[in-house]
Amino acid sequence: MFDFTIDATSGPARAGRLALPHGAVETPAFLPVGTQGTVRALSPRDLQAVGAELVLANTYHLHVRPGEEVVAKLGGLHRFMAWDRPLLTDSGGFQVFSLDGFREVREDGVEFQSHVDGGRRTLTPERAVEIQWTLGADIAMAFDHVAPGGADVATARDALDRTLRWLERCARRHRELSDSRTAGRPDGKAFTVRPSDSPTVRQTLWPILQGGAHLDLRAEGLRRILELGSWTGLAIGGLSVGEPKQVMYDMLEALEPRLPGELPRYLMGVGFPADLVAAVERGVDLFDCVAPTRHGRNGSAFTPDGPVNIRNAEHREDPRPLDATCDCETCTTFSRGYLRHLFVAEELLGLRLLSLHNVRFLIRLAAEMRAAIRARDFPRWADAWRRRYTQTGSA
C-alpha cells in the first residue's frame, strides 16, 4: 500500500503509478479540487467520466462546514461525496493563512476566524491530523505554516522551522492513530474507532516542504524532512502564491536533483496547462488546482491553442466544438454557439460543461505527458505542445 513505482523517465520527467487504498493513480496526474466535498458543478459520475483518479478535498472547509463529525456519521468522506476512488485532504494550513479574517500564529497552533460564522477556532498540528483521520482520505497532509509569496529570509525561515516542528507533531499523532485505530474528537481527545462504526481507515501522511523562494531554506527543509521519517510522498508548498512563474520553475529545477527519486512529488495549488508541462519537465508527479473549475465557471476554456473565452461574440454562430481534439461530453455534444448561449443566458449548464471540459483537458494533458515520457519523446512533445499552446500569444 502507498507504493510508488516509476516505469519510465525522460530527463527529470517521470511516469509512474501510485497505489492507494481506494485504487491506483497513474502519474503525472492532475487532482480536481473538491473544496467543500464536491468538485464545483461536477458529480462523481462526471469525475469518473473525465478520468479523475485522485480528488482533493479541503480539511479547513469541511471542518467548519458541515464538520468532520457529520462527515463521519455519514460514513466518512468517500461515502459522503460518493467517491469511492482515492482522495487526498489538504491540512487546512494554506486556508488558515490565505483566507481573509483574523489569525494568530502561536507555537501550539493557529487561532483563526471561520469564514462561515465568524467564530474563533484553533487548529493545531494534532487537530489537523485528527480531523483528516476522521474524514478518512487516502492521503492526509501535514499542517504547515505558509509564508506569503514574497517573504524575506527571516519570515520564511520562521515559517519553515515552525512547519518542521509541526511536522514532527503531525507525524506522531498520525502514528498514534494508525497504531491504535483511534480517531479524534472535537475536544482533541481520542476515542477508539470500532470497526463496526466505519470502514477501516488506511491513510498515509505526507510532509509539505516550505521555504519560500529561498533555495537554501528549501534545501535545508528537505534534508530535515527526510531525517524526520520515511515518507510515502512529498509535497512542495508555498509556490504559485504570487511570485513570478520563472521563480517557481527555477526553484523546481534547483530542487529536483535533491529530491529522493522514489517518492511521488506533489506540487500544491498548480496549475495552469503550461505550468503542468513545465513542472513535469522538472520532475513533478502530482498537481491540484481550482483553475479548471473556476475558469470554467467564468467562461474560460483551456484548448490546445490556448484559452478561449466562450462569451466572445465570435462564437455566436460557431458550430464547432470547444476543442476538436477533446473527447469530453461538452466537446462531443455541443457547439461553441450553444455554449456561448448558455453563458450569455446565464444558464447553470454552461458552468458545468466548461468545468467538465477544463478538468478533462488537464487530465488528458497529464495522460499525454505520461505517454510521451513512456515513448521517450517527452522533450520533443513538450516543445511542440508549448509552441501550439502559446502561438496565439494568449496563454
Q: At 262, phi and psi to the nearest 5?
A: -85, -10
Residue 264 and residue 284: Cα distance in Å, rounded?
A: 8
User: Catalytic: 161?
Assistant: no
In order, the DSSP letters of 287-306 are: EE-SHHHHHHHTTEE--TTS
Q: Pick the closer one to its own copies by CB: 66 or 149.
A: 66
Give the other-Cβ count within 10 Å of 316's Cβ: 11
Q: Pick the closer one to its own copies by CB: 336 or 364.
A: 336
What's the min distance (Å) between Cβ of 347 and its own copies?
5
Q: Pick the closer one to its own copies by CB: 246 or 332.
A: 332
Q: Pick the closer one to its own copies by CB: 211 or 296.
A: 296
Residues near its own copies (CB under 8 A) are: 36-38, 40-45, 61, 65-66, 70, 73-75, 79-82, 316-317, 319, 329, 333-335, 337-338, 340-342, 344-345, 347-349, 351-353
Grid coordinates given for 243 = 511570485
Q: Pick the closer one to its own copies by CB: 70 or 375.
A: 70
Q: Pick the closer one to its own copies by CB: 154 or 345.
A: 345
CA dihedral 170, 174, 180, 182 (to 10 degrees): 90
CA dihedral 147, 153, 159, 163 (to 10 degrees): 120
Check if the beta carbon of residue 193 is closer than 8 Å to that of residue 201.
Answer: yes
- Residue in this structure with the C-alpha cell 459520475, named with its chain if needed: 45
Catalytically annotated residue among 46, 90, 138, 275:
90
What's the min distance (Å) between Cβ of 24 and its own copies?
23
Beta-bridged to residue 18, according to DSSP, are 4, 25
The one-letter amino acid at 130: E
What's the min distance (Å) between Cβ of 337 and its own copies?
5
User: Catalytic: 323?
Assistant: no
**DSSP reduced 3-state for 395:** coil
What's the min distance (Å) between Cβ of 341 and its own copies?
5
Catalytically annotated residue among 138, 275, 285, 288:
288
Residue 242 and residue 250: Cα distance in Å, rounded?
A: 15
Residue 163 and residue 93: Cα distance in Å, rounded?
A: 10
CA distances from 182 to 71, 118, 124, 193 (A): 16, 30, 18, 5
What's the min distance (Å) between Cβ of 332 and its own copies?
10
For the chain, what is the radius of gyration of the CA atoms? 21
What's the min distance (Å) between Cβ of 174 and its own copies?
26
Query: What are the residue numbers of the active site?
Result: 90, 288
